[in-house]
Structure 1
Amino acid sequence: MGVKVYERILQLFEAEGINTIFGIPDPNFVHMFHRAEERGWTVVAPHHEESAGFMAEAVSRMTGKAAVCIGTLGPGVANLAGAMMCAKVENSPVIFLGGQRARITEQRVRRGRIQFVKQAELFEPSVKYNASIEYADQTDEVIREALRKALGGTPGPVYIEYPSHIIQEELDVPEPVAPSAYRLVNQTAGPDKIAEAVAAIKAAKQPILLVGHGVHTARAGESVKELADLIAAPAIQTSGGTSFIKGLEDRTFPYGFSAASIDAVVKSDLVVAIGTELGEPVHYGRGRHWVANEANRTWILIEQDPQAIGVNRSIDVPLVGDLRAVVPQLVEALKDSPRTATPELAAWIKQDADQLAELAETAPTGRALVHPARLIVEATKAFPPDGIMVRDGGAITIFGWTYSQAKPHDVIWNQNFGHLGTGLPYAVGAGVADGGRRPLMLITGDSSFQFHIAELETAARLNLPLVVVVSVDYAWGLEVGVYKRTFGQGSLETGVHWSKETRFDKIAEGFGCYGEYVEREEDIAPAIKRAYASGKTAVIHVPVDPKANSEEMPNYDEFRTWYAEGTQ
């Protein structure tokens, strides 16, 4: 018997280890959703297609694989646009499937067509590959090319149009082949370059690892930990690499926000950069903290996309390949000659621990309204050690970079694009990828939380162990700060304030979740513990000091150096 096009698409995704799909089905997709559930897929229908895209992106980050979401023709596909752009900037391999009317409708010279717009051309700049399955027998080649493009080079999103005239057609096709049969997988670096890298590592006196977002989205922490042990180096996090690799928690320092990270960078004579674009948040690896000792520093970069080599800075030893394959190559080559740690490493570990403890001690306390720094300290002290941390928001995220007392092994946030409102969908997607086993905590600002607040129902429906801690200043806190810096204290702050009658704990209860309103800083951690104990998705509403939120962001001057236009 033949295979329907919609089932063949599922088969091809299954060959890549994909078994989750997000979206709101219409006539184009009901067959696919029905068959997916029959085949054992996890099928999640959120309340907005943009949320579907963010949820899929979170699954990709948590699994190291491509992920899939769909959009109903016309308005549903339009709603995917923000998630597409985000996935492009975040380098996330998300497959966006867009429904469309039959091509005969598109080709007719008529006006007033219902739920119709030419979609593909609108998304061309936002994706790595843009195609349509015009004929049933194109299904395999289009889906495979989409996966090839999404996962090859610098990962990113693709868009596939799925017009209604091909949905029910049947194909006589063999069983799907393994990914290695049609795309490059586990690409290793050349032995000559591995030898150069090993020689540079052995010659170094103060090596560091620069660990980026890609290490975590590739799920490569275990091999990177082995490499860090062999070269006895600290791990310096980029802004995106804010997860802590298991076993490296004590010697992982956030770039620029930790005194130990700055000292380690300045003194380094070798950098092994893994899973990072060397972008603005690390000053391209050549500005600010990197200027000192630049002449004596060797750079090794592991990069899958050869076109990225040498763009942001010169690289001495480029290792072109999949970091999941290249890092094990280095581990194998170094395993018989491990380095001995320099005395500075122990000193940096102590320095960083002391700084963290001091921040917990000195975070402002005893105010009439909770200080955002104190909210971060109290909330992250209550974070479950095995949990998944999700971040969202402006000011509260900046407070979190400095004051967090937790060292999660999985952190998900929108570090490159800065898209607000991703937090709740990311949390749902991460929980789905994890099977709802590990506790989740989302720390978010009130403005960002409201973008996709309807997904509380989705989280509750899926029974996810999620606690949302909302920092509430009833304003766009970062923008309030911009008004003050631009026009001075007491200036008119247009369009950044909203009603103080809103109660997120009550909204949560309306969605069937657990809710608490907390006004005292000492009650934050107990409320979080009660929320987890409730067995429900939960929301903790914490009013914070709006003046502190807009005026006292820590390390804000450091943050602004990321935007040093034309100076780097």
Structure 2
Amino acid sequence: MAVKVYERILHLFEAEGIDTLFGIPDPNFVHMFITAEKRGWKVVAPHHEESAGFMAEAAFRMTGKPGLCIGTLGPGVANLAGAMMCAKVENSPVIFLGGQRARITEQRVRRGRIQFIKQSGLFEPSVKYCASIEYANQTDEIIREALRATQTGTPGPAYIEYPAHVIQEELDVGEPLPPSAYRLVEQGASAQMIEKAVQLIKAAKNPILLVGHAVHCFRGGESVKALANILNCPVIQTSGGTSFISGLEDRTFPYGFSPAAVEAVVKSDCCIAIGTELGEPVHYGVGRHWKENDANRKWIYVELDPKAIGVNRRFDAPLVGDLRAIVPQLVEALKDSPRKAAPDLATWVKADEKRVADLGESAPKGGERVHTARFVVEATKAFPKDGIMIRDGGATVIFQWTYSQAKPRDVIWNQNFGHLGTGLPYAVGAMVAEGGKRPGMLLTSDSAFLFHVSELETAARLKLPLVCVVGVDHQWGLEVGVYKRTFGKGSAETGVHWSKDVRFDKMAEGFGCYGEYVDKAEDIGPAIARAYASGKTAVIHVAIDPTVNSEEMPNYSEFRTWYAEGTQ
């Protein structure tokens, strides 16, 4: 069949099940945008290319399929750089398409060229694969290599550019190949290693599941649930794997922030780690809570990248491959050997339920401004059933780890890179990927929210049922805390405070959204209910206590242990 290059690119992504495109159209891409829309794609144009990259990453997290993002040549591609680096550190398979001027421009020995820079060399260190479609007949091989690279080994981003003179060229090609014809798809572990893992599990008295970020991104929850039910054991969340698997909410405990999780880790004699890098936030699986009983604990590790085996710690049964294939292998091998509940499981469940309930009761309300702990409690109590939770911010996120009263099955946040400002774009991308029907709640702080506040218009234009609950203390809370700990209270705090005249509820109204101002804890829940009832994208401005936010962060000492090399 005869097709243009831009149309063929869409066909190749469709073969992978990708049907959503984020980016700002310009002359390089208008043909692709209009063709995608005609083919039934969801096409979302935000107000900043970095937002487009974050939206694409969130779409991956909700679908398990690579995100797709576009930036025009020069400044547009430059704006993608932050999102590209974020996708690299967050292990997200996002494919960034960049426009470029015709190659004749690049080869001219002249100064003063408009909207031009040699792009690919700048981005190569930030991606797993970097290429340019120089000739039309390279289209299939380059797009497939990007799809292969982003999903093989540790996932990550790719950058592809195509010069203007290639876009309109015509190809005579056949139907796109299915993914299984050109890359490994859902690779399972070897029978011998599965058998070894099964024997270790059967011999264990106190096994635990350590569930990480990839379980949720690659939508592996149901098979992990089946395994957890066979093992009848506690589920320990990493800081990246903070979504909850439906049916396992009561026995899922956050590592480091729940005494039940710590006790389960210490007593465990077999850890099945799934979808986690075993990075600094879990002390590489060797430090802090893992030290005790380490000599008696066996490790089974489900990991996509063979090069990751043995890097952070030793393993007894490394299961190399796709968790979407390996966990079902374990379930099949163990289905006839269900275990009795772990001896302390019921006690841990009750203790953790009491911990969460007590925090909900004991969180201070605050005085003239709402205490941040109570801000989190009241907002998460009002979290809608089947909602998508999106997190952003610094100090407010630390409060969320401890005080959240909700257990959503989808939590989207930037855990590894700590990139502020991702919240609003993440919310748009995640909700678009889910069809724009499920309610979303963005729980964030003022400084983070201001990064990409223009995307309120995008959310409103798309009629997304999103409520942004913004804790406002008119400062960079974490940084104020650093000043106080470094120089003492009352010292100078340069560059961390900003105007107290900013009203986010009024800003929301200017974008055509619903807005409401709250300065009393008891008004947060009703305000959120009214926001959802409005049928509009909404912003609730909650005045929170700046002193609390900088001085009283809960479990901050635990958070500091994440920086294993003493970088703070």
For residue 23 of structure 2, what is the aligned residue in structure 1? 23
Distance across 1 between alignment mates of 2:525 and 2:279: 36
User: Superposed, which structure 2 residues align to 1:557-568 within 5 Å?
Assistant: 557-565=557-565
C-alpha separation in 2, matches of 1:326 and 1:207: 18
CA distance in 2, matches of 1:49, 1:369: 36
Q: Distance in 1 between matches of 2:387 and 2:550?
A: 29
Cα deviation, residue 564, structure 1: 2.8
Contact between 2:283 and 2:564, CA under 8 Å: does it hold in 1? no
Tell me, yes or no, if structure 1 residue 95 matches structure 2 residue 95.
yes
Contact 2:366/2:545 (8 A) holds in 1: no
2:436 aligned partner, one-letter code? G
TM-aligned CA deviation for residue 343 of structure 1:
2.5
2:553 alignment partner AA: M
Deviation readout 1:191-229 (Å, 9 max, x if unpaired): 000000000111101100000000000000000000000
Q: Is the Cα contact below 8 Å between 1:446 and 1:474 reproduced in 2?
A: yes
Which letter does structure 1 place at the counterpart of 2:175?
E
- What pairs up with 1:216-235 in 2 under 5 angstroms? 216-235=216-235
Describe the superposition over 1:535-554 as per-residue Cα deviations: whole angstroms up to 9, x where unpaired. 00000000101000000000
Q: Secondary structure at the match of 1:489?
A: coil
CA distance in 2, matches of 1:62, 1:365: 35
Q: Distance in 2 between matches of 1:535 and 1:521?
A: 23
- TM-score, normalisation: structure 1: 0.99
1:114 correspondence with 2:145: no
Q: Structure 1 residues 429-438 or 551-560, which shifts more? A: 429-438
CA RMSD of aligned residues (A): 0.7
Partner of 1:432: 432
Identify unmatched segments of 5+ residues in structure 1. none
Report the 3-state secondary structure (helix = DSSP H, G, I; strand = E; otherwise coil) of the residue aligned with 2:210.
strand
Name 2:363's counterpart in structure 1: 363
**2:286 — aligned with what?**
286
Deviations 1:474-520 (A, max 9, x none): 00000000000000000000000000000000000000000000011
The separation in 2 between residues aligned to 1:429 and 1:7, in whole angstroms, is 23
Report the CA distance between 1:566 and its aligned residue.
Answer: 5.9
Equivalence map 1:178-193=2 (5 Å): 178-193=178-193
Q: Which residue does the alignment assign to 1:537? A: 537
Q: Deviations over 1:273-328 (max 9, x none)?
A: 00000000000000000000000000000001000000000011000010000000
Aligned length: 567
> Following TM superposition, by how much is the alpha carbon of 1:365 offset from its aligned partner in structure 2, in angstroms?
1.9
Deviations 1:388-419 (A, max 9, x none): 00000000000000000000000000000000
Q: Secondary structure at the match of 1:361?
A: helix
Indicate the residue corresponding to 2:473 in structure 1. 473
Is 1:264 equivalent to 2:255 in the alignment? Answer: no
Counterparts of 2:113 and 2:34, CA distance in 1: 28
Question: CA separation in 2, counterparts of 1:469 and 1:342?
Answer: 39
Structure 1 counterpart SS, 2:35: helix
1:402 paired to 2:402: yes
C-alpha displacement at 1:368, in angstroms?
Answer: 2.1
| 4+ residue segments displaced more than 3 Å | none
| Residue of structure 2 equivalent to 1:319 | 319
Contact 1:385 1:406 in 2 (8 A): no
For normalisation by structure 2, the TM-score amounts to 0.99
| Secondary structure at the counterpart of residue 313 of structure 2 | coil
Residue 275 of structure 2: aligned partner: 275
- Quote the residue 2:392 is aligned against: 392
2:366 and 2:147 mapped to 1: Cα distance?
54
- 1:413-466 deviation per Cα after TM superposition (whole angstroms, max 9, x unaligned): 000000000000000001100111111000001000000000000000000000
Aligned to 1:111, what secondary structure does the other structure show?
A: coil
Residue equivalent to 2:372: 372
Distance in 2, Cα, partners of 1:162 & 1:475: 43
What does residue range 150-549 of structure 1 map to in structure 2 within 5 Å? 150-549=150-549
Listed one character per residue, the Cα deviations across residues 306-354 of structure 1 (whole Å, up to 9, x for unaligned) are 0000000001100001000000000000001111112200010001000
Q: State the AA in 2 paired with 1:438.
A: R
Q: Percent same amino acid at aligned positions?
A: 77
Structure 1 distance, partners of 2:427, 2:342, is 39
Mapped pair 1:143 → 2:175:
no
- Partner of residue 82, structure 1: 82
